[in-house]
Structure 1
C-alpha cells in the first residue's frame, strides 16, 4: 500500500513540476549565443527533429510555453527570444525589421550547426518565418504561422475597432487567458537584460510592426516552402488578408481556428497544438479539388 501511495505521489508531483517549468526563464536549460551584434537567448527541450519556435512581438519564448510542453514530446524544441525582446539583447541600430530578425535566425542556426528545421511562428514570429523563407528557404523544412501578416499595419490589414462594443468581462475566456496576458504585458519589465533600453526597444518593435513587413504578392509566390497558415476566425488581422497570404503561397495549407482571436494558442491550446502536430507530421502534397470525381 505504501509503495502504491509513493508511486501515485511521485506521478502527481512530477506532473505538477513539469507544468511549472519556467519556460523562457529556465536557468537549467537557458543558453546564449552571439549572433552579429546581439546575444540571443534560447532554451532547448526534448529530442528528435529540430523545431524552432518564434514568439510574437513584445513577447518572449515564455509565451510559447504551452507549445514547448506539447511539442517537446516529439521534437527537439528550440525556443528563441527575438532581437530587442525577451532576454535577447538590443543593439545600437535605430531600426528593427522582420528581415533583420530573419537574418538573426539564420545566423543562430549556423552557430548551432542546424542545417534545416521545422518552424512555428506566432504573430511577429510568423512574419519572421516568411522573411526567412524569402532569403534562406533551404533552412526551412516546413513552417506553421499563426496570425501573421505580410504587409505592415499602415496598409490597413487590421480589423476595424468598434469602440461602442465590449465583451462581457465575466466571459469565461477572460478567466482562461488573463494569466498569460498579464505575463505578456510585463515581459520587458521582468526579462529585459538591460532595463535602460526598455523604452527604446519597445519603440523599435512598435515602429517595425507598423511599417513592416513589406512582402509583395510576387515575393510570396516565389516561396517554395510548405506553410500552414493559421488564424483565429476573429483574429485582429482581417480574414481577407489571411486568405491573400494563403492563396499566394504556392505550397500553403489553411486552418482557421473557430471562436478564437489573435491569441488562439491560449484560447484553444488543445485544438491549435493538435493541428500543428498533425501538419508537421506529414509530407505536404498538392490536392486536386475534384480527384474523387475522376
Structure 2
C-alpha cells in the first residue's frame, strides 16, 4: 500500500512539474527596474546561483527544459533579455549584446548575487562573452551554445535553411515543431507593449547582424572557464566555433552530433547531462601530451 501511495505521489509530482509554465509563472515571476528597462525574471530551485540567458527573439520559456533539469541542483535565475520576452524595450535606437551584459550585471547587483555560473544559448552565449569582458569577477564558469564572437555580417553564419526549415518527413520535425512554433510566437504572446513589437524585432535583428565585434585579442584576455557547445550542423560555421574555442584560454569544447542551432530541443538529454557534468567539476587545463610525461 505504501509503495502504491509513493508511486502516486511521484506521478503527481511529475505531472505538476510538467505543467509549470516557464516564462509565464506568476508564482515565481518578478520584475525589477534595471536602468531604463523593467526586467522580468523567474527563480527556481536552491543552491549555487545559475543564470540562464535565452536566444534572440526568445524568452525564459525556451529554456524550460534546462530549468527543469538544472533546478534540481542549482538556484536557477532565468531572465528575459532587454526588448524580448516580458522584459520591456527602451527608447534607445539600437540594441547591443554589450548593453544586455550590463543589464545582467545590474540585475546581479540588485539581487546581491556576487558570482554565478552561466548558461547562454545563441544570443545568450554572446551576452555571456560580453559579460566576461567587462565583469569577469561575476562569473564562475559559463556554458555557451551556438554562440558567435562576430556579427552575422562578417559571414560567420550559414544559410538559415540549415537550421530553421526542416524537412517535414524528418523525425526531428515532429519533436521540435511545437517548441519552434511557440518560439516564433513569443513576441505576440508575451511582449509587455504590443505597439513596440515591430521596433523591438528590428533591434534584435540589427544587433545579430552587426554584433558582437569581439576581437581575438579580447577573447584571449578572458580567463573565465567556458564550455563552447554547438551542433555539428549549427547555423554558425564549425570553423567559427573552433576559433571561438581556440581563442578562449580556458575553454572546453563539445560538439553535439546530428544537431543544429536548436540542439537543446533536438537532444535535450545529451545537452543537459553534458552541461551538468561540466559545471560540476573544477576547471582543469589539459596538455595533449601529459600522459607521456
Shorter chain as denominator, the TM-score bin is over 0.9
CA contact (8 A) 2:160 2:235 kept: no
1:17 shift after superposition: 1.3
Cross-structure match for 1:148? 147
Name the structure 2 match of 1:204: 203
> Following the alignment from structure 2 to structure 1, what is the Cα–Cα distance between the partners of residues 96 and 179?
26
Runs (5+) with no aligned partner, structure 1: none
Residue 39, structure 1, aligned to residue 43, structure 2: no
- Corresponding position of 2:187: 188
CA deviations 1:225-267 (Å, max 9, x no partner) are 1000000000000000000000000000000000000000010
Going from structure 1 to structure 2, the CA distance change for 1:283 and 1:219 (only over 3 Å counts) comes to same
Q: In 1, distance between residues paired with 2:84 and 2:272?
A: 24
- Aligned partners of 2:45 and 2:74 also within 8 Å: yes
Give the match for residue 257 of structure 2: 258
1:73-112 matches, cutoff 5 A? 73-112=72-111
Report how far residue 137 of structure 1 moved. 0.4
Name the Cα RMSD after superposition: 1.3
Structure 2: distance between partners of 1:226 and 1:9:
42
Deviation at 1:19, TM superposition (A): 1.1
Partner Cα distance (2:56, 2:167) in 1: 27
The CA distance in 1 between the partners of 2:240 and 2:8, in whole Å, is: 50
- Matching residue of 1:60: 59
Whether 1:23 aligns to 2:31 is no
| Cα deviation 1:177-222 (Å, max 9, x = unaligned) | 1110010000000000111111100010000000000100110001
Distance 1:24 1:160, change over 3 A: closer
Equivalence for 1:125 = 124
Instruction: Deviation per CA, 1:51-71: give whole Å up to 9, x if none.
Output: 000000000011000000000
TM-score (norm 1): 0.96
How far apart are residue 159 of structure 1 and its match? 1.7
Q: Secondary structure at the match of 1:91?
A: coil
Give the count of matched residue pairs. Answer: 291
Aligned structure 1 segments of 4 or more residues deviating by more than 2 angstroms: 3-11, 160-163
Distance in 2 (alpha carbons) for counterparts of 1:151 and 1:168: 29
Residue 137 of structure 1 is matched in structure 2 by 136
Residue range with higher mean Cα deviation, 12-21 or 64-73: 12-21
Q: 1:106 to 1:161 in 2, by over 3 A?
A: closer
Q: How does 1:6-21 map to 2 (within 5 A)?
A: 6-21=5-20
